[in-house]
Amino acid sequence: MANQTNLQLDHVFHALSDPTRRAIVHRLSRGPASVSELAKPFTMAMPSLLQHLRVLEASRLIRSSKAGRVRTCEMQPSALSIAEGWLAAQRGLWEARLDRMDAYVATLEGKEKKHGKRHGK
Amino acid sequence: MANQTNLQLDHVFHALSDPTRRAIVHRLSRGPASVSELAKPFTMAMPSLLQHLRVLEASRLIRSSKAGRVRTCEMQPSALSIAEGWLAAQRGLWEARLDRMDAYVATLEGKEKKHGKRHGK
């Protein structure tokens, strides 16, 4: 299960490392869109866009479904949450370390004061 | 400035798309470490590890400095924040959309009730 999450993190972060794919996620965050709507803001050829969509689907950041001739894409926010969760965990570790350092400095300052008093400073 | 951030997001997400690099970030979230300490948990050859460290430094997730023969690496949490900020912004858009949908459904339900009363239902 941990390996599964690790693999999904590989895919999600890889998917998000490209500005076109981030722009697509950004667009889909505001609601579903057809492939042709998604293509509009970009000058790239359709095969390139479809390749980006495939990478996004593989990462499970988006999913798509076809009705007649129209393929509609939509966000899957759970994949975003996995990435957010990982980043928040690292920040948590970092902040815990800063708190420990603060506590340590406060202890040292306390000792310093006591030492100062004992020596009449 | 927006392009600068976009470029950094490319680098940060690319850096995080690899499990070894994520393990290094995870380790450094708990405090600085020398390159040889960082290498310990991995079976890979040193040149491969150094290549991962270069990718992490290019993304500004970590920085390193040399004292004598020892190179020490440490986290740069601001790069993590940039990635977290981008993810949170997309989630914000997504949640705002859900809120709008909720409000719309509530409006429809309100109309339905009024309509029902008027027709003596």
Q: What is the pLDDT of residue B56?
A: 98
Percent of chain B with pLDDT over 70: 96
Distance between CA atoms of residues B24 and B17, nearest Å: 12
Mean of the per-residue pLDDT values of chain B: 91
**Is residue B100's pLDDT more than 90?**
no
Judge if pTM exceeds 0.95: no
User: Contact, A93 vs A100, CB < 8 A?
Assistant: no
Dihedral sign, CA of A84, B81, B51, B44?
negative
pLDDT digits (tens, 9 = 90+) for B25-70: 999 999 999 999 999 999 999 999 999 999 999 999 999 999 999 9
Given an 8 Å threshold on Cβ–Cβ distance, is B29 in contact with A90? yes
Give the phi and the psi of residue A49 in degrees, each rounded to 5. Answer: -60, -45
- The ipTM (two decimal places) reads 0.86
Lookup result for tokens 């950041």: A61
Give the max Cα distance, chain B.
88
pLDDT digits (tens, 9 = 90+) for A58-114: 999 999 999 999 999 999 999 999 999 999 999 999 999 888 888 888 888 888 888
How far A36 CA sits from the closest chain B CA (Å)?
21
Give the phi and the psi of residue B67 in degrees, each rounded to 5. Answer: -125, 110
Distances, alpha carbon B118 to alpha carbons B108, B109, B113, in Å: 15, 14, 9
For the beta sheet containing B70-75, the strands, ordered from the edge strand earlier in sequence to the opposite edge, are B33-34, B70-75, B62-67
Q: Which residue of A has its CA nearest to B88?
A: A84
Contacts of B76 (CB under 8 A, 6+ apart): B60, B61, B62, B63
Distance between CA atoms of residues B109 and B121, nearest Å: 14
Given an 8 Å threshold on Cβ–Cβ distance, is A25 in contact with B94? no
Under the phi-then-psi rule, with left for phi > 0, alpha for psi from -120 to 50, and beta for the rest, what region is B120?
Answer: left
Q: Which residue has the higher pLDDT, A83 or B4?
A: A83
pLDDT digits (tens, 9 = 90+) for B70-81: 999 999 999 999
- Chain B residues interacting with chain A (CB cutoff of 8 angstroms): 6, 9-11, 13-14, 16-19, 22, 25-26, 29-31, 75, 77, 80-81, 83-84, 86-88, 90-91, 93-94, 97
Lookup result for tokens 């722009």: A23
Mean of the per-residue pLDDT values of chain A: 91
